[in-house]
Structure 1
Amino acid sequence: MINLTDSAINAVRNAITTSDKPVDGLRIMVEAGGCAGLKYNMGLVSGSEAEDTVIEREGVRVLVDHKSLEYLEGTTIDFVIALEGSGFTFENPNAKSSCGCGKSFA
């Protein structure tokens, strides 16, 4: 299961309501790249794929493909507002290491 904090849910909900296109949910993926080997990728999407795992919390839908789910199982996603900048953070128990930016892991 992937967990979203209340702050993350509010940030996603705000992005969906201010989008100028129809949005079905937030897609979260893990892809090769980044400074640690794997990176998180997120974006609003207009539809789901047949094999997506769909997680719904408080009306917010999160779509995750099968391969990414292996890396994201147990992850908590938060949205943090800080002096250095605002953004999503990932607390991933499957990560053996991560980079300083928090967007890449191994």
Structure 2
Amino acid sequence: MINLTDNAVNAAKRAISASAPPAGGLRIAVEMGGCAEFKYTMGLAASAEPDDTVIERDGLKVFVDNKSHQHLAGTTIDFVVALESAGFTFDNPNAKSCCSCGKSFS
């Protein structure tokens, strides 16, 4: 199960409502690359793909392909606003190590 905080849900909903054409949800994936072995990717998507797991929370649909889902099980996604930046963060219990930017892991 992937968990999204209220801040993450609200940030994603704002992005979806501002998109043109309207997006159907948020796509979260894990790809090879980044400072460590894997990197997180996020973006708006029109709809789910056939091999996606669809997670719904408070009207937000999150699409995760099955290959990525195994790397993200148990992850909590938050949206943090700090003095220097704002963005999504991942607290992934499957990660053995993370890079300093927080966007990639091994």
TM range (shorter): over 0.9
SS at match of 2:42: strand
Once the two structures are TM-superposed, the CA of residue 22 in structure 1 deviates from its matched residue by 2.1
SS at match of 1:56: strand
Identity of aligned residues (%): 64
Give the gaps of 5 or more residues in structure 2. none
SS at match of 2:15: helix
Once the two structures are TM-superposed, the CA of residue 20 in structure 1 deviates from its matched residue by 1.4
Partner of 1:19: 19
Aligned residues: 106
1:47-66 equivalence runs, <5 A: 47-66=47-66
The amino acid that maps onto 1:42 is M
TM-score (ref. length: structure 2): 0.98
The amino acid that maps onto 1:95 is A
Once the two structures are TM-superposed, the CA of residue 37 in structure 1 deviates from its matched residue by 1.0
Once the two structures are TM-superposed, the CA of residue 83 in structure 1 deviates from its matched residue by 1.2
1:1-106 equivalence runs, <5 A: 1-106=1-106
Whole-angstrom distance in 2 between the partners of 1:77 and 1:93 = 12
Give the gaps of 5 or more residues in structure 1. none
Q: Show structure 1 runs of 4+ deviating over 4 A.
A: none
Once the two structures are TM-superposed, the CA of residue 27 in structure 1 deviates from its matched residue by 0.4
Q: Per-residue CA shift, 1:23-60, capped at 9, x if unaligned? A: 11000000000001100000000111111000000000
TM-score (ref. length: structure 1): 0.98
SS at match of 1:78: strand
